[in-house]
Amino acid sequence: MTRKTILKFGKVENADPNDLPGWKVIEGKPTMKTAVQHTTADGKVLSGTWQATPGTYHATYTDYEFVHMISGRIIITPDGGEPVEVGPGDAFVVEADFKGTWKIIEPVTKHFVVALK
C-alpha cells in the first residue's frame, strides 16, 4: 500500500470524546475531543485536532507535543512555574515531562503533533 506524502487535515470526524490519559478535571466541567488524523508508518508520531470546552485540567505528559492553536484561549501553568497564555495563531511545545494545569478560558481547537517515546 502506498502512503500519501501530503495529507491535509479536513473536517474533524470520529473524535474520541474521552479525557486523555494523565488529564484530570480539577475545575468546572470541561470536555475534550481528540481526533488522530495521521499516524506515521512506524507509529511513533501522531497528529490531529483537539477540541476542549472551558474548565481546568491537571495534565501529566509522557510524550513531546507541538501545538498550533487554531481558536480559543488557554492559560498553561507548569507545577511550580509561571503561567503562559496562548491563543489563536500561537505555536508552542510541551516537553514530555510537563506536569501542570491547562485552564481553558474559551473553547479551543488546536492542531497537534505528538512524538511518542
Count the alpha carbons within 13 Å of 52 in the hemisphere toward its beta carbon: 24
Domain range summary for the chain, segments of one domain joined by +: 23-115
Question: b vs e for 97-109, b when ≥16 Cβ sit within 10 Å of the residue's Cβ?
Answer: ebebbbbbeeebe
CATH architecture of 23-115: Sandwich (2.60)
Specify the pLDDT at position 1.
Answer: 55
pLDDT digits (tens, 9 = 90+) for 69-111: 999 999 999 999 999 999 999 999 999 999 999 999 999 999 9
Specify the pLDDT at position 31.
Answer: 97
